[in-house]
Chain A
Amino acid sequence: MADLGLRQKLFGPSRHWLLVPVLSVLAALAICFVAIWLTGKDPVQGYAKMFGGGLGSLRALGDTSLKTSILTLTGLSVALAFSVGLFNIGAEGQLVVGALVAAWLGHAFAPGTALIHIPIILIAAALAGAGWASIAAWLKVRRGVHEVISTIMLNWIAIHLVESWLVVGPLAARSTQSQVSLPGTAQIEATAELPRLMGEINLGLPLALGMAVALFVLLKWTTAGFELRAIGASSEAARASGIDVARRTYLAMALAGACAGLAGAILILGVHRQYPAIFHGGYGFDGIAISLIGGNHPLGALLAAAFFGIIRAGGTKLQLLQIHRTFPELIQGLALLLVAAQMITRHLLTKVAGRAPQGKEAIDA
C-alpha cells in the first residue's frame, strides 16, 4: 500500500517533525520578502511593521491573542481528525454552525449572569460543531463516503443555509420601529460577551490553550487517545486488535467539530457580538494549514497558530506600505505548499548532509 506508507510519512509522528515545518515557514518568509522587494517596496520595513503590528502594543496583543485562539482551535480540529487518519476539510462549516448557535443563544436566552450564560453558549456551540462534523463521520462509517468530499459539501451547505437563509431570514434582527430586517442577527446580551483580561486579551486564548493541552493529554496518555492513534496508523490493524473503529471515528470527528464550533463561538462572543451579514472568512481552511505546519500535533498546531496569529494581526499595519492586509495569509499558504512539498525538502537535506542513510532515516522515522 504505497499511499498508506506515504500518509504515515506525512502525518505520522517523526523525531524530526519540527524540521520541515520550520524550514517551510522560513522559506515562505524569504519568498515573500523577495516578492515585496520586487514590487519596489521596502521589505525590511514591511516585515518590521508586520511583526511589530502583532506584538507592539497591548491592543496589538489583543488582536494577536484572538487570531491565535481561533487558528489554534481550527488547527486542533484538523489535527484531531488526522489522528484517526481522516482529513477534516470541514472546519469552516463546523465553525459557521457553532457561530450561529452562539449568536442565537447570545440573545434568545438570558439567564442574567455571565457565569451561566457563557459556559452554556460555549458548550452548545461545541455540540453544534460536533453534530455537524458527525454527519461526515456517519457518512464515512455507514456509507463509505470519503470525508474529503463530504466535508467540502457540508461546508458549503452550512455557509449557504446560514448566511443566505437563517441570518437574513428567520434569525435576522428586526429594528424596533419597523419590520425592516437589519444585516445580521440581533446583538447578544451583555452577559454573553466574553470578558477581556487586562482590557484587551480575549478569553478565547486561555480556552484554546486549554484545549490544546487537553487534546495532547488525551492523545498521548489515555486509552481512547491510544486507540485513535492506532486507527490513524492502520485502521485494519486496529480493527483486528479489537478496537471499535466506528465508535472512535465518531469520537474524533465530534471532537474535531467541537473545536471548530468553539472557534465560531469565540468570534461571535468576543468580536462581532452578533452573527454579521458577512462573516465566514476562511478560518476553517486556515486550520488545515495550521495543523499541517504544526506537524498535526496539538502543541505544534498551537505554536503554528501563535506565529501566524502574530503576523496576521500585524497584517493591517502592512497597509501603510500599500500591501494588502491579507499578505500574511500568502506566507501561510506558501508555508503549507512547502510542507506539502516536504519530499523535496528532505531530498535536498539529504544531499546537503551528503549521507543518504540519514535522509532515509529521517523519512522513515
Chain B
Amino acid sequence: MLELIEAILASTLDFAPSIVLAALGGVISERSGVVNLGLEGMMRLGAFFAAAATLATGSPWIGLGAGMLAGAVGALLHGWLCIRWRSDQVVSGIALNLVALGGVTFLVEALYGSTDTERTATIGKLVLPGLDSVPLLRALSGHSWLAWIALAAPIVMHLVLYRTALGLRVLAVGEKPQAAATLGVSVAGIRYGCVLASGLLAGLGGASLSVSTLDQFNNHMPAGQGFIALAAMVFGKWTPLGAFGASAFFAAANALRISLASSIPWIKDVIPSGFLLALPYLLTLLLLAGFVGKARAPAADGVPYDPEVR
C-alpha cells in the first residue's frame, strides 16, 4: 500500500507540471478578462519549439526558453486580436488551436521529414540527498526541475495577484474594467501583460512535455492537456492555488490509473480507465452546475473592453 502511494505521488510529480503551468496561464489571462481557449495550441507550440531548440543547441534549458517564447508569440496574436481588435475571444482561441495543430504538423514534416523529432537532451533531475531511505518522502526525490518550478509558480502567482498593487489592478481589470480605467489603470496594458504571461506559462507547460516528461516532440502532443488545464482552471475557481490543487488532483487521478493498471490489473474491471480519464471533466461540470460548491468566472471575462461604453 505504501509503495502504491509512493508510486502515485512520484508519478503525480512527473505528470502535473505541464497541467499546472498551463492552468496558471489560463488563470492569469482570464482574471484580466481575456478568455483563453488557446491553451492547447500554445502548449503545442511550446512543446515543438522546445524540442527543436534543444536539438539545435543541445541545451534543454534553452529549449524551455524557446518553448516559452513560442507560447508567448501565439498568446500575443490572441491578445492582439482580442484586445486591439476586440475579436471574439472564443473564436480566436479555437482558431489558434487549429493553426497550431496544422502548422506544427507541417513544420515537423518540413524540418525532420517525420511526425516526431529525434531524441533530445532533457532537463536534469533533482535528487534530494538523504531521502532515499525515508518512506513516503523518498518519492519526492529524483524529479525534473520542472516539478519544483510548478510547485513554486502557483505560490508566486498567488502572492503577486493578492498581495501587490499590480495584482489588484489585474483583478480590477477582470471584474470592472471601466472602474479600473477611471482610476488611471491601462486596461489594454494589463490585459496584454496577462495574456503574454499566459502564453509564457502555457509554452513552458508544453515545453516540459517534450524536453522533460519525454525526450522528443511527437505529433500527438499535448494530447488534450490544454483542455485538462482549462478544466483545472474552472475547477480551481479561477484562482492560482485552486488551479494548482485541481491540476495536482487531476494528475493524481491519471497517476492512479496508470499505477493501478500495472500493479493491480484486475482493478481495470472494477473501475475502467475511461472513468478515471473522464473524471476531471465530470467533476468540473458538476461544480459548474452547482452540485458541488459553486464557481464563478471573473465578471468581465470574455467581454472586450470598449472605453466608450460605461
Contact = CB atoms under 8 A, between A and B. Distances in A.
A156 B274 contact: no
A324 B109 contact: yes
Name the prevailing secondary structure of the B interface residues: helix
Given A292-B91, A322-B109, A326-B105, A334 B99 contact: yes
Nearest to A142: B289
B197 to A, nearest CB: 22
A10 to B, nearest CB: 5
B274 A333 contact: no
Contacts of A333: 95, 97-99, 101-103
Contacts of B102: 326-327, 329-334
A143 B275 CA distance: 24
A285 B99 CA distance: 12
Given A6-B88, A10-B88, A340-B91, A169 B272 contact: yes
Interface string B68-103: 000000000000010001111011101111110111
Interface in A148-192: 148-150, 152-154, 156-157, 160-166, 168-169
A180 to B, nearest CB: 15
Contact of B87 (A156, A166, A168, A341): A341
A343 interface: yes
A39 interface: yes
B106 A330 contact: yes
A87 B277 CA distance: 25
Contact of A152 (B99, B101, B106, B227): B227
Contacts of B19: none
B304 interface: yes
Interface of A is mostly: helix
Given A139-B288, A143-B289, A166-B274, A285 B88 contact: no
A163 B274 contact: yes
Interface in B96-143: 96-99, 101-103, 105-106, 108-110, 113, 115
A160 B281 CA distance: 10
A343 B86 contact: yes
A337 B288 contact: no
Contacts of A148: 35, 37, 90
Contacts of B284: 149, 153
Contacts of A332: 98, 102
Q: Which of A35, A153, A162, A164 has the most CB of B within 10 A?
A: A153
A146 B94 CA distance: 16
A323 to B, nearest CB: 7
B274 A161 contact: yes
A323 B288 CA distance: 43
B234 interface: yes
Given A333-B102, A340-B91, A156 B309 contact: no
Interface string B190-222: 000000000000000000000000000000000
Contacts of B302: 3
A272 interface: no
Contact of B95 (A165, A329, A336, A344): A336
Nearest to A1: B309
Interface in B259-310: 272-275, 277-278, 280-282, 284-285, 288-290, 297, 302-306, 309
Interface in A250-307: 282, 285, 288-289, 292
Contacts of B110: 39, 323
Most A Cβ at <10 Å: residue of B85, B90, B91, B288:
B91
Contact of B234 (A143, A149, A340): A149
Interface string A222-243: 0000000000000000000000
B65 to A, nearest CB: 24
A61 interface: no
Given A148-B37, A148-B90, A149-B288, A164 B274 contact: yes
B91 A145 contact: no
B86 A6 contact: yes
B28 interface: no
B147 interface: no
Contact of B281 (A139, A153, A163): A153
B231 interface: yes
Contact of B99 (A1, A153, A157, A330): A330
B174 to A, nearest CB: 14
Given A160-B277, A333-B99, A340 B289 contact: no
B96 A7 contact: no
8 contacts: A146-B297, A153-B284, A288-B94, A323-B109, A326-B101, A333-B99, A341-B81, A343-B86
Interface of A: 1-3, 6-7, 10, 35, 39, 87, 89, 139, 143, 145-146, 148-150, 152-154, 156-157, 160-166, 168-169, 282, 285, 288-289, 292, 322-324, 326-327, 329-334, 336-337, 339-344
Given A149-B230, A330-B103, 6 more contacts: A7-B88, A149-B234, A153-B288, A164-B277, A330-B99, A341-B87
Q: 9 tightest CB-CB pairs across the interface, nearest first?
A: A330-B102, A165-B274, A333-B98, A164-B274, A160-B277, A337-B95, A160-B278, A2-B306, A165-B272
